[in-house]
Every structure is written in C-alpha cells, then in structure tokens.
Structure 1
Amino acid sequence: MEMRGMMGGFYKISEWIMRLSVTNVLWLLTSFPFWFLFITPFISQPAEGDAEGTLISAVIMMAIAAPFTLFPATSAMFSVARKWVLGDVDVPLFKTFFRNYKQNYVQAMIGGVFYALLFAILIIDFQVYLKQISGFQILAYLFIALMLLLLISMLHFFSLLSHFHMKTVQLFKNALILTIGRPFRSLAMAIGAVVVIAISMRFTFLLPFFFGSIIAVYTFFNFNIVIQKMMLMKEQAEAAAEESESEEEKEPVGEGNNSQG
C-alpha cells in the first residue's frame, strides 16, 4: 500500500537519501586510490619549500591513477543516475553500478588517460605561469578557463558514455560539440557542479554520501534535456523534408493531368 501525505513524502525523501548515499559510497570505494592520493598532500603537510614539488608529484600520481579508478567508477555512477533521470528509480543499485563498471571500463579508462593528461598539463602550467614566470601571471587565468571547458567536456563524456553506444573517438568528438554548441546549458552544468562541490566542502559530512551522486544526477538531467531537444529538432527537420519531397513528387503529376486536359 502506497504511503500518502506527509509520511509518504518523508518515505520518498528517505529513499532518495539512501539511493544517493549508497551510489556515492560505491563511487568513492571503487575510486579509492585516486582519492587517497588526492588527500595525501593535505595530510602530510610538507615543508614550505617542498610544497610546490609535492603538489606537482601528487598531480602526476593522480593523473596516473584516475584512468584506472576514478573514470570507470564515475562512468558506473552516471549509468545509475541515467536510470533515475529516465524514470527507473527502483533500479538495483549494486547490480547496475558494477555491471556498467565492467561494461564501460575500457572506454572510461581511455577517456581517463585523455582527460587526466590534459588536466595534469593545465594544472602544472597554471602553477608555472602563476608563480615562476614573472610578467605572465595573467596567462595563468587562461588555464583556469581551459580547465573549466575541459571539465564541462568531461561531464558530457560521462553522460554520452552512459547513454549511447559509440566508439571512443565519437564520444570525445560529441562531448566537445555539446560543450561548444550548447554553451548556456553546458555552463549551467558546470556552475551546478561547482556549487555542489562548494556546499560539500562547507558541510564536509556531505562528501562521503552525496556530492558525487548529486552532480551525476544534475549533469545527466541537463544532458537529457539537450538530447531530447536535439532529437525533436531532428524529427521536425526530417518531417519537413519528407513533406517537401512528397509535394515535389505530386507537382509533375498535376502538370501532366492538366496538359492532358
């Protein structure tokens, strides 16, 4: 019997808290080596002179670990989020997560190598231009803009990977097209992700349970809106083309009947 009223509302909220938290914990556990390397520089507290070298070393190690841990785990999390957004809210979490983790592992790993390498280069260049090259500090902020574009492209990549069966090159290409071709929706995705991260950093108890899964749901929700609009435009264009072709086919017949008359 379905619960109604206030109790039904509390029950639905508790269900969503469970779904989001379980998925987020699975994501963190399957990508644990990456997050361990991420928090190590903050825990070790290196000497002031060694701080920059420690940061660069940590970035390199995270770039190596990310393709094999973080990216397959994130791909699996987006696959669960896709089910929720498309209406299948009662999908089995463990089965769906690990099935898609296995199915998309290779493509997610290849995508991870590509994105991790670019992120590592941009982060290191940002540090170099900001602190070591005098007179060119303004260029450091260009790398921030490039990292933002790369982040948006990466979010599109995960959404595409969870939603379509494509070759890896097509995933990269379409992620870039969506990033540039839908700038306002893409910017909204990035802002939403940054807001969730900022809130989670402010209220750190959210980090283990919600921040990754909420970003995945929000990202795929926006991605699905874009895809639905593009499919509708395609159907309208095809319908208009078919109507135009049918009118062109009818015209010669009409002319022939008139000439006979």
Structure 2
Amino acid sequence: MQLNGAMKVVYQAGEWIIRLVYANLLWMLFTLLGLGIFGFMPATVSLFALLRKWIIGNEVESAFTIFWTNYRKEFLKANLFGVMFLVIGLIIRLDILFFQDSSNIVFQILFVLMICLSLLYFITIVNFFPVYVHFDLSILNYVKYAFLIGLSQLSSTLMMIFGSIIIFCLYWYVSGLIPLLCVSLFCLNIMWFGYRAFKKIELEQQK
C-alpha cells in the first residue's frame, strides 16, 4: 500500500522507534555480555555502527549480525580507547579540583586553561564514536580526526549537544522512555549530525 503525506511520516517514525528500541536492547545485552565495564565501549561502538548503516540506507543486513560482528572485531580496541579516555578525563577532573581551590594567580590561570581543555576533551568525545565507525584510521588518528572535525564542524557539534539536551529533557518528563530508548536515541542524535558533518566535508573537498 502506497503511503503519502502525514501517514507516511507516522509510519516512518513508528518504524524508527521500533528499530531504536531493538538497538537499545542489543546495546544492553552486549554491555552485560562484557560484564558491564568491559562491554560498555564495544557495545557503544557496535550501536553507532548499526545506526550509521541505517542512516545511509542499509536496511538489508541483520541488526544482530551487524552488532555481533562489530562487537567481536572492536572489543579490545574499543576498551583501549575507553581506558585512555577515562584516564585523561580523571586527570583533567583532578587538576580542575586542585586548581580551583587556590587563590594563587598562576593556579587560577591554570584552572581556566584546564576548563578550556575539558571543553576540547568533551568535543573530542562527542565526535569520537561517529568518526570511529565511519573512518578506517590508526589509533591516534581517530582521536585527531574527532578533535579536528569537532572544531571545524562546530555547528554540527553544537547540534549534537543541543539535541542531547532536548532528549535528556524528554526523558526527564517522560521517564517511561528511559528503559526503551535510554542510549539508542542519544546515539542516533550524535551519529545523525556526525554523518552530516562528514558529508559536508566531502562536498567541500570535491569543490
């Protein structure tokens, strides 16, 4: 049956909601498979890989197959990145706590610098997962690309953040959505704007 207008929009929205609920269940399952702490990063990478395929229109391959393939393939490397980001984040956090309690002018300057560094760290984290599943790079280049793309495509980064805030507010007022879409909707928002940033860069390079 051919759907047009509002009915088509409603059907597509319902289809995406079902996909996201399923993707969220897969994320929780594979996170638990890695005992939580070891499953979080590879499950999140797998979720972004799945969402990327859906965004570019690949709807033929099984979602479970995509998830399982990426989970096994990226398990060690994803956890390596997880440890790296965790250590860097803790160092930045401890430095901020140390410098903010001092009245020394040098420490106050360092405090401001650490706040700026934490913002750059956050921008890199937000863009890391879309970059990781879209490009095939060396370990250091994943971080470099995430940082550079996050800054050069700042409008997309801001939309990722703004969209995440809207989703958080939605969860705040409709808490029943949390078990169904707690991670997948956040990741879809980030992957969607990340993919748009990549396409924009490709168009600029062609020109």
TM-score (norm 2): 0.81
CA change 1:231–1:205 in 2 (3 A) is same
Partner residue of 1:211? 182
Q: What are the within-5 Å matches in structure 2 for residues 218-237 of structure 1?
A: 218-236=189-207
Q: Which one of 164, 167, 191 corresponds to residue 196 of structure 1?
A: 167
Q: Which one of 69, 73, 81 corresponds to residue 51 of structure 2?
A: 81
What code does the residue aligned with 1:31 have? T
Q: Which one of 128, 131, 143 corresponds to residue 160 of structure 1?
A: 131
Partner residue of 1:12? 12
Report % sequence identity. Answer: 26
What code does the residue aligned with 2:194 have? F
Root mean square deviation, CA, Å: 3.0
What is the CA distance between 1:198 and its match in structure 2? 3.5
CA change 1:35–1:154 in 2 (3 A) is farther
Cα deviation digits, residues 52-74 of structure 1 (max 9, x gap)? xxxxxxxxxxxxx3xx2221111
CA contact (8 A) 2:31 2:40 kept: yes
Q: Which one of 165, 171, 181 corresponds to residue 152 of structure 2?
A: 181
Partner residue of 1:27? 27
CA change 1:208–1:128 in 2 (3 A) is farther
Partner residue of 2:85? 115
What is the CA distance between 1:75 and its match in structure 2? 0.4
Report the Cα distance in structure 2 between the residues aligned to 1:134 and 1:102, rounded to whole angstroms: 47
What is the CA distance between 1:5 and its match in structure 2? 6.4
Report the Cα distance in structure 1 between the residues aligned to 2:173 and 2:89, rounded to whole angstroms: 25
What code does the residue aligned with 1:77 have? L
Report the Cα distance in structure 2 between the residues aligned to 1:205 and 1:170, rounded to whole angstroms: 39
Q: What are the within-5 Å matches in structure 2 for residues 129-148 of structure 1?
A: 133=101, 135=103, 146-148=117-119
Match of 1:165, SS state, is coil
Q: What are the within-5 Å matches in structure 2 for residues 95-110 of structure 1?
A: 95-110=65-80
What is the CA distance between 1:191 and its match in structure 2? 2.4
CA change 1:5–1:163 in 2 (3 A) is same
What code does the residue aligned with 2:140 have? V
Match of 2:180, SS state, is coil
The count of aligned residue pairs is: 204
CA change 1:218–1:91 in 2 (3 A) is farther
What is the CA distance between 1:108 and its match in structure 2? 1.4
What code does the residue aligned with 2:51 have? A
**Structure label with greater radius of gyration:** 1
CA contact (8 A) 2:126 2:157 kept: no
Report the Cα distance in structure 2 between the residues aligned to 1:147 and 1:209, rounded to whole angstroms: 31
CA change 1:234–1:5 in 2 (3 A) is closer
CA change 1:122–1:16 in 2 (3 A) is same
What code does the residue aligned with 2:157 have? S
Report the Cα distance in structure 2 between the residues aligned to 1:191 and 1:145, rounded to whole angstroms: 19
Structure 2: gaps (5+ residues):
none
What code does the residue aligned with 1:180 have? L
TM-score (norm 1): 0.66
Report the Cα distance in structure 2 between the residues aligned to 1:141 and 1:108, rounded to whole angstroms: 31
What code does the residue aligned with 1:204 have? S
